[in-house]
Amino acid sequence: MTETDLRLFGSIHADRRGKVAAELAEFADGVDALFVEMPATNVTYGTYLRAFCRTPLVGLGLVLAMLVHYPVYALLQRSPHSVERLAVAELVEEWGVNVHGVDDDHPVVFLADAGPKWILPNWTALAALLVYDRSGALATVALLVGAFAGLQLVALYATRLWAVVTLPLCLLVLHELVLGPRASTAAVGVVAVGFLSLVLVGIDTRNETMVDRIAEVSADRGYEDVCLTTGNAHLSGLLDSDDVDVRVSKVHTSKWLRRSAETVENPEPTGASGPETVGDVGTEQHVLGARIGAAVVDGVVTLVVGFVLFVGMGLAVSGLSESAFLSRMMAGVGIMSGFVVTPTLAAVLYGYVAEHRYGRTLGKRLFGLVVVGTDGTRCTRRAAALRNLLRPVDFVFLYTVGFVTMLATPRRQRLGDLVAGTTVVRAAETSVPVRSPTRRKTVRSRPESGSD
């Protein structure tokens, strides 16, 4: 089977359309086809409805993301579509090449087909919010649902005025969600965390799906040189793909608002061979004391990071209060909420980044521990995300939930470990290949083809 050369073009979703289109035209000159980060089939209102019914909180998180992104889209692109989709549309019209959507695990599609692992936590969290603050939670849901309906109506019936209407609509709803008296700060925070969990957990699966789809379409159509346009966040994962039918020949990283010359030919995977910390599987039952010591160290780190976040939040709230944008009472509520929000956010982010990149936090490193999959494999991005997003649940009643779960399971797994499929074992330093060398077993040199 002939191997396909794949050019990766990464961009920021919100950017200047003309600049990105010019960069893409130069980078993708002579390709057989263009692939783009979008579903192969249309996302309908029925898809959104299924997503909201199955996973209400994460679905509302998508709407919250729209409210944050669309004002920038309105200013820079005057369209609700990402800049790479708009750039590809221009090139297709000019060049006449085929274009294919390959993001079949797009967040909306994924949520519409979500299973019990997503459905149950979503409805449980929503019920907890209604018990905690029913009026605030209902107001938050109403604002987000109303915003989604309003944005869709604008896109349908006011296409030419989309940017003019969308900008004030998004800013007004965001103001009501953050500073308004009706919305619940806790509900907005939970919705935001839900969306963050979707992004962190789903990105690896989306990367694999896109590469598999490119290989399948290229083999079927006989493409030898193709280009995928996607967000910059996907580039490293796409480089690490093990699909031997697709070889990444070039990578271009677009810069925000300015032209970029960052094009690399025959790039190396980000997970190249080298020393890696691996786990001594089978030691799970003998590290409880070390885990407690590591938790104490990580707790200190979390408090420091949380304090920095709290100070920043306090300064921001104080500034808003002094400028009359925020009443003194609401400022006090915001600062009090910070005592809970900032340490929780610090713990989740610190654990996720450290365990995804290095397999262990500072505390685990000092006590000779590492997080691995239950089969002994390296902790993935998805596993690290799930493990740490559930950390606040494990911490209920001063870590009672997590501690009891650890004692009750043979692998000493807390709730986050059970969901993520991970465990904590003793570390063993060794030099192992992080990736299989089959990724680049065939290298072809092809003459550059001329433009059509």
Whether 227 has a pLDDT exceeding 90, the answer reads: yes
Question: In this structure, is residue 282 part of a structural domain?
Answer: yes
Last residue of one domain, picked from the residues 214, 240, 265: 265
Last residue of one domain, picked from the residues 237, 265, 293: 265
Question: In this structure, is residue 447 part of a structural domain?
Answer: no
Question: In this structure, is residue 437 part of a structural domain?
Answer: no
Question: In this structure, is residue 117 part of a structural domain?
Answer: yes
Q: Which residues pair with 276 in a beta bridge?
A: 430
Residues 112 and 210 in one domain: yes
Whether 382 has a pLDDT exceeding 50, the answer reads: yes
Residues 203 and 292 in one domain: no
The predicted model scores a pTM of 0.66
Which of the 8 DSSP states describes residue 106? -
Residues 187 and 282 in one domain: no
Residue with tokens 């030691």: 283
Question: In this structure, is residue 445 part of a structural domain?
Answer: no
Question: In this structure, is residue 270 part of a structural domain?
Answer: no
pLDDT of 318? 55
Angle between helices 17-27 and 83-95 (to 10 degrees): 50
Residues 227 and 288 in one domain: no
Question: In this structure, is residue 27 part of a structural domain?
Answer: yes
Residues 171 and 293 in one domain: no
Residues 249 and 289 in one domain: no
Residue ranges making up the domain that contains 54: 4-265
Question: In this structure, is residue 354 part of a structural domain?
Answer: yes
Residues 297 and 230 in one domain: no
Give residue-wise pLDDT tens across range 107-147. Answer: 999 999 999 989 998 999 899 889 888 999 999 999 999 99
Residues 54 and 183 in one domain: yes
Distance CA 269, CA 437 (A): 10
Residues 259 and 350 in one domain: no
Q: What is the mean pLDDT of residues 93-106?
A: 90
* Phi, psi dihedral angles at 326 (to 5 degrees): -140, 130
SS3 at position 276: strand
Give residue-wise pLDDT tens across range 148-167. Answer: 999 999 988 888 899 999 99
Last residue of one domain, picked from the residues 245, 265, 285: 265
How many domains does the chain divide into?
2
Q: What is the mean pLDDT of residues 210-231?
A: 94
